[in-house]
Chain A
């Protein structure tokens, strides 16, 4: 007998995955965040988040770090992607590959190498913890910024630029009025892939001897002290911030089909 799969049946593996690894953990986090140690419903964890100066300070530091990292990545990635997308050079796919290649190397190895280089330059890593963290993270996340921007720029119809110039725009005006707005989906995609991980990825900080807490390390510290409730609330608030950020950036970007980038 011939076995046929309906579309619904084909969705079963992922649905199971989704339930076990996404929905259940979320429910568990939500449960812990809204209960106290006796298991009773409470909002005190939520109040703690916004009253504890330590938590708010960490939130501010994380934001600052993520903002600086995103800015550095964007400043490096946009010109690079623009140059690569507009050049007719036949080796440009090789260059794109070189930018992506660090992603194939183990993360710890990369950051360790970066640490040694920074150490050699600065003498002691403890002098500039914030700067070092920004450099380390930018290095780590740069491909995630370049690829989506590069993809949107290569898809840009060159005749639009010709049309703009035909209508009297100088090169710079054509860039500001046409290229930049049309590459916005790529920028949004890149920013969301860099900004959010940069707020929580404390491994980079640890490895570069930056002892300041960011959101990720704060959650970790609560969990290692067996305070599941406050830790979960921080995770939940972060999740909400991320959701709001994503919804805002997705606002009218229906055609943000470059999300993720075709090469990823």
Chain B
């Protein structure tokens, strides 16, 4: 590509692995940001959003991948040579300098004349509503005022990109709302690119032109706030953004999906027979009289939430959360109806767990120090056991250590136990999503593998669990 590109910054295959523990904070991250956009990295803590921002700022280097600024590779350019400035979460104001000296820091390094510096500092202080604060000391300012100084200190250098690392995280709710609007206005006035990091989905939806939803170092979805909210690409995004009901369903006809014991019309075209995750926002559920809805259930709880009631309805094995201005009583039978565009269909992720086993000298499989019984003769066509030795079709002996077997198991077939030694594998629950009639857990093993487990009982985040993989539910395949 030649000349000035429309993209001010491009991240190509950025991966950041920490040497000391091998943890992959950011995994093959790709993103293009257009000039003047307000982009937000959104995700739970530990999802890699801050690490990505730090790599754009130059405080951290990717293990592999490229960062392009205006089409030029700046991956190895140090932070002080990038036309990018940062607003820090904990302000990072210099405590031994007054407000003027803090804001003038960057300008003085550029050796601008004194009167120019004074003029610029005055202007930027006006912009953040802190006129006359030049001689105040940092410690005499409130949190909100300190962050305004932080923003002024970054903006006075007229950066091409402003990075904001959870800048409002340390402020109280009211101040946060005010600052959100001010930042949004500032972005519109200045026309420069803002890259914003937050774990607050409401903040992201309010402020951004484009949201990048991240989880476990990977991009989950990139889109406008409306896209992300209305058309979540997977269960994680749906669960993270706003309140949602997530059900496991199956496509039963053209634009027809069955879940919660009923068949609903939908707008997405997916092949018949496909297993899908169905997302329904609580505000999209319509309560009707019994018999008038597609499915019916019983009200189990009603909570007043100010502008609406939050109502939980039990439909067979599923629970549906509804936001409505109607007030049924607990125990009332009700009907439930859904408009086709209130149903969001996502093709269910294939969550089969696979792992590689070695074969011991008695031709049993071995994994993680445990033995798994498997009839190898079924895996190798025409082979048979002769005097405790495996012999192939042509009568040759097959050495056990020449074999590798891939075992796989479905999430619903794995049993969780709180005795870590009982299971074949053990790990910690790092994520859970409620899917109507069961929970979907992500269990991370000590080796860093993530295993998806479906279980109808509620476990807590960070629980240490053992995973029992019943031998009759395991599927084996020979590794080629």
- Interface pair A165/B109, CB less than 8 Å apart: no
Q: Is B309 in contact with chain A by the CB < 8 A criterion?
A: no
- Interface pair B157/A162, CB less than 8 Å apart: no
- Interface pair A181/B90, CB less than 8 Å apart: no
Q: Is A22 in contact with chain B by the CB < 8 A criterion?
A: no
Please give the distance in Å from A2's CB to the nearest CB on chain B: 43
B residues contacting the other copy or chain, number (CB 8 A): 25
Docked pose: A169 CA to B58 CA in angstroms: 13
- Interface pair A170/B80, CB less than 8 Å apart: yes
Residue of A159, A177, A182 near B92 (CB, 8 A) is: A159
Q: In the complex, which residues of chain B have a beta carbon less than 8 angstroms from the beta carbon of A52?
A: none
- Interface pair A166/B80, CB less than 8 Å apart: yes
Docked pose: A87 CA to B59 CA in angstroms: 16
- Interface pair B88/A163, CB less than 8 Å apart: yes
Q: In the complex, which residues of chain A have a beta carbon less than 8 angstroms from the beta carbon of B105?
A: 164, 167, 169, 177
Q: Is A173 in contact with chain B by the CB < 8 A criterion?
A: yes
Q: Is B261 in contact with chain A by the CB < 8 A criterion?
A: no
Q: Is B94 in contact with chain A by the CB < 8 A criterion?
A: yes
When C-beta atoms are compared, the residue in chain A nearest to B139 turns out to be: A255
Q: In the complex, which residues of chain A have a beta carbon less than 8 angstroms from the beta carbon of B106?
A: 167-168
A residues contacting the other copy or chain, number (CB 8 A): 19
Please give the distance in Å from B198's CB to the nearest CB on chain A: 18
Docked pose: A163 CA to B85 CA in angstroms: 9
Given A160-B94, A163-B86, answer yes or no on A168-B110 (Cβ-Cβ < 8 Å). yes
Q: In the complex, which residues of chain B have a beta carbon less than 8 angstroms from the beta carbon of A181?
A: 96
When C-beta atoms are compared, the residue in chain A nearest to B165 turns out to be: A159
Please give the distance in Å from A158's CB to the nearest CB on chain B: 9
Q: In the complex, which residues of chain B have a beta carbon less than 8 angstroms from the beta carbon of A255?
A: 95
Given A169-B80, A170-B80, answer yes or no on A163-B94 (Cβ-Cβ < 8 Å). yes
Docked pose: A182 CA to B88 CA in angstroms: 19
Q: Is A64 in contact with chain B by the CB < 8 A criterion?
A: no
Docked pose: A252 CA to B248 CA in angstroms: 66
Q: In the complex, which residues of chain B have a beta carbon less than 8 angstroms from the beta carbon of A167?
A: 80, 85, 105-106, 109, 153-154, 157
Docked pose: A169 CA to B78 CA in angstroms: 10
Docked pose: A177 CA to B97 CA in angstroms: 10
Please give the distance in Å from A205's CB to the nearest CB on chain B: 39
- Interface pair B109/A160, CB less than 8 Å apart: no
Please give the distance in Å from A9's CB to the nearest CB on chain B: 36
- Interface pair A165/B92, CB less than 8 Å apart: no
- Enumerate A62-92 residues with CB–CB distance to B below 8 Å: 88
Q: In the complex, which residues of chain B have a beta carbon less than 8 angstroms from the beta carbon of A157?
A: 90, 92
Residues of B within 8 A of A (CB): 20, 57-59, 78-81, 84-86, 88, 90, 92-96, 105-106, 109-110, 153-154, 157
> Nearest 5 pairs between A and B by C-beta?
A167-B106, A159-B92, A163-B92, A165-B79, A168-B109
Question: Could you list 18 further interchain pairs (A-B, Cβ under 8 angstroms) beyond the known A162-B88, A165-B80?
Answer: A160-B92, A162-B79, A162-B86, A163-B88, A163-B92, A163-B153, A165-B78, A165-B79, A166-B57, A166-B58, A166-B79, A167-B80, A167-B153, A168-B106, A168-B110, A169-B105, A173-B109, A177-B105
